[in-house]
Amino acid sequence: MNISMLDLAAEQRELSGELEAAIKGVLASGHFILGPQGAAFENEIAAWLGVGHAVAVASGTDALHLALRAAGVGPGDEVVTPAFTFIATAQAISYCGARPVFADIDPGTFNLDPSSLARVLTPRTRAVIAVHLYGQCADMGSIAAVCEQRGLTLIEDCAQAIGADWQGRRAGAWGALGCFSFYPTKNLGAYGDAGLITTGDAKLAETLRVLRHHGSRVAYRHEMIGYNSRMDELQAAILRVKLRRLEAWNAARRGHAEHYRRLLAGSTLVLPSEHGRGSHAYHQFTLRSARRDAMREALTRAGIASAIYYPIPLHHQPVYEREHGGLSLPVSEEAARTVFAVPVYPQLTADRLERVCEVLLTA
């Protein structure tokens, strides 16, 4: 029994008729950029997330970059973000000419530790990017309070957490700006790169629309240095189909997580921690073990995929180590040494999940 981390073919089979009709509709329309599918998707997902405005862009990385630009972040500024996340979060800061400042994480949720955030703030801090890692929201109450007190722009990196919430308010609706990725492996995945920025501020939304379209509101008149970062109509049409299933898919992921918890209870593995202040979207089911390598080797021998998100914290990445190499962030460093993820995708069957647990318990 070979068990992959994700089965996109099964997802496609589940939706094949709807997806084919949506794609054919776009092809027949002859409209492929900034058309009715994109506008409809923006309206539908804004309503689903409970936000005022949604601006579709070309990727999750672009979402972070354009959000920072719209917030006025530039050279000389500092932006705080956790060290334990994918590098795109920090790269977007660097794209703006600003300096990423790395904070440590909470050992239970792997998200930005508000006390570490408070310790690294300086007079140059302009913004904070709170990452909702693995599908669970960061402590948005405490983080938002710090940002409000210091006059900082709060940006949410929601790439792994669409549908998660903190105290009833969904990821992407807490900060001044929320950034989403629709990379194919995400809970809501396109058939290529795509992203989204959310905001409650109409002026920020308009700035984002200008930025994504070469700095232009009117053809051939450019008022700022912008970018080519527009979600195409095919991706928007595909995402509209999938959005209708997202609630059910996230519920299936949560169900798998509970099944894992029951079967792995009492083992030496450290299971994912839920803060209890909102729902977890379980983009990943991330375990911790001092015997990680042995566990993963046993899974591999059994034909079961696993993955490490992430093996190197950002302050130890070669591109940032020269400036941040002396920095000690012990919780992030320990997480990088011990975490590994096992399959949790919606179409995972009970027998396959049970086989994963059988191997883990005997490794």
Q: Of 220, 243, 266, which residue constitutes the final position of a domain?
A: 243
C-alpha–C-alpha distance, residues 11 and 13, integer Å: 5
Residue 285 and residue 223 in one domain: no
pLDDT of 325 > 80? The answer is no
Q: Which CATH number do you get for residue 354?
A: 3.90.1150.10
Residue 120 and residue 265 in one domain: no
pLDDT of 22 > 90? The answer is yes
Confidence of residue 66 (pLDDT cuts 50, 70, 90): very high
Quickly list DSSP for 234-251.
HHHHHHHHHHTTHHHHHH
Residue 201 and residue 344 in one domain: no
Arithmetic mean of pLDDT over the chain: 97
pLDDT tens-digit series, residues 128-168: 999 999 999 999 999 999 999 999 999 999 999 999 999 99
Q: Residues 145, 162, 170, 338: what is their CA dihedral angle, to the nearest 10 degrees?
A: -50
Whole domain around residue 43: which residue ranges? 8-243
Residue 293 lies in a domain: yes
Confidence of residue 116 (pLDDT cuts 50, 70, 90): very high
Confidence of residue 226 (pLDDT cuts 50, 70, 90): very high
Q: What is the pLDDT of residue 29?
A: 97
Residue 34 lies in a domain: yes
Per-residue pLDDT, averaged over 41-61, amounts to 98
Question: How many domains is the chain built from?
Answer: 2
Q: What is the pLDDT of residue 30?
A: 97
Residue 3 lies in a domain: no
Residue 22 and residue 91 in one domain: yes
Q: What is the pLDDT of residue 1?
A: 79
Beta-carbon count within 10 A of 294 CB: 11
Q: Are 49 and 198 in contact (CB under 8 A)?
A: yes
Residue 189 lies in a domain: yes
Residue 2 lies in a domain: no
Per-residue pLDDT, averaged over 286-311, amounts to 98
* Percent of the chain residues past pLDDT 70, beyond the cut: 100
C-alpha–C-alpha distance, residues 63 and 61, integer Å: 5
Per-residue pLDDT, averaged over 55-77, amounts to 98
Confidence of residue 283 (pLDDT cuts 50, 70, 90): very high
Residue 89 and residue 130 in one domain: yes
pLDDT tens-digit series, residues 257-279: 999 999 999 999 999 999 999 99
Q: Of 243, 276, 293, which residue constitutes the final position of a domain?
A: 243
Residue 187 and residue 281 in one domain: no
